[in-house]
A and B are shown apart, each in its own frame.
Chain A
Amino acid sequence: MPRQSVWFVRTALLYLGVGFTFGALILWQKGTGMLPLAWLLLPAHMEIVLLGWTLQLAMGVAYWILPRLQVDGRSTRGRQRAVWWSYALLNAGILVVVVAGMRTTSPVQAPAVALGRLAEAVAVALFAWHAWPRVKPAGAGRR
């Protein structure tokens, strides 16, 4: 597994653990009513399991298994710098959205969430830009 995929997938696994922990706290509150503040975790729970876990895992595995490109007779996974930027921006965006989502009374909540979403949008666009030429029929090697 390439280094970029290791980072994507391990980060996704951490988000899986954290996302399930937040979900369990919310469900515990739903049953027992003992943790009313757990409801504050609901937006973070959704963000973490959908983007941090599911999307990030898909990106890590796609980087690993999509067909490689042949450039000047060399096998490559293409635009690697774009993928590192994608990783950094995706996780920065998720963290900003998660933290801002919990600060419901803060006047900077809306702009912070918008900034986080923008970072996530650039991250997925960069990933798509990297992946596009790798989605090709078997044997079609040249870029």
Chain B
Amino acid sequence: MPTLTRWYLKSALVWLAAAGIVGAAAALSPLLRLPPVLTALRPVYVHVLMVGWVTQLIFGIAHWMFPKPDAARAERGERLGWLTWLTVNAGLALRVVAEPVAAGHPGGAAAWFLALSAVLQLLAGWLFVAATWPRVRSR
């Protein structure tokens, strides 16, 4: 298994565990009268599960299993792959922290971290497309 795939898969597993915790915190919030800011965790939970776990698992397996690119494109694909890993994880982590804070303090610095998280995840999506597109081909 390539190194990048291992990083994707292990990060995906960490996000899966995090999704369990975030989901439980969001569900327990009204029952245990936890701070209301935790209700902002509901969309965070969905994205930790779908982006952190599902999408990142797909990214990792695709990097491993899709037809290998020619040598010239392989190095470029590897670089784009690492950039994808970095931006998707940084973007999601930023969202997890910034979204509940921004919900509690609208207009503060956290709101701009949320915007930065949007840019990072947008980059991650298109970087993965650029890295993977040449590998999706007929024999």
Please measure, in the bound complex, the distance between the C-alpha atom of A83 and the C-alpha atom of B74, giving whole angstroms.
31
What residues of B have a CB within 8 angstroms of the CB of A129 in the complex?
A: none
A102 interface hit (Cβ, 8 Å): no
- Total interface residues in chain B, CB < 8 Å: 34
What residues of A have a CB within 8 angstroms of the CB of B97 in the complex?
A: none
Whether A3 pairs with B138 at a CB distance below 8 angstroms is yes
- Name the CB-closest residue of B to A57: B58
Whether A6 pairs with B136 at a CB distance below 8 angstroms is yes
Count of A-B contacts with CB under 8 A?
A: 79
Whether B125 pairs with A32 at a CB distance below 8 angstroms is no
A93 interface hit (Cβ, 8 Å): no
- Name the CB-closest residue of B to A2: B138
B residues adjacent to A (C-beta < 8 A): 50, 54-55, 58, 66-67, 95, 98-99, 102, 106-107, 110-115, 117-119, 121-122, 124-126, 128-129, 132-133, 136-139
Query: What are 19 contact pairs spanning A and B, CB under 8 A?
Result: A1-B136, A1-B138, A1-B139, A5-B136, A10-B133, A17-B125, A20-B122, A20-B124, A21-B125, A24-B118, A24-B119, A24-B121, A25-B118, A27-B95, A27-B114, A27-B118, A31-B98, A31-B110, A54-B58
A residues adjacent to B (C-beta < 8 A): 1-3, 5-6, 9-10, 13-14, 16-17, 19-21, 23-25, 27-28, 30-33, 49, 54, 57
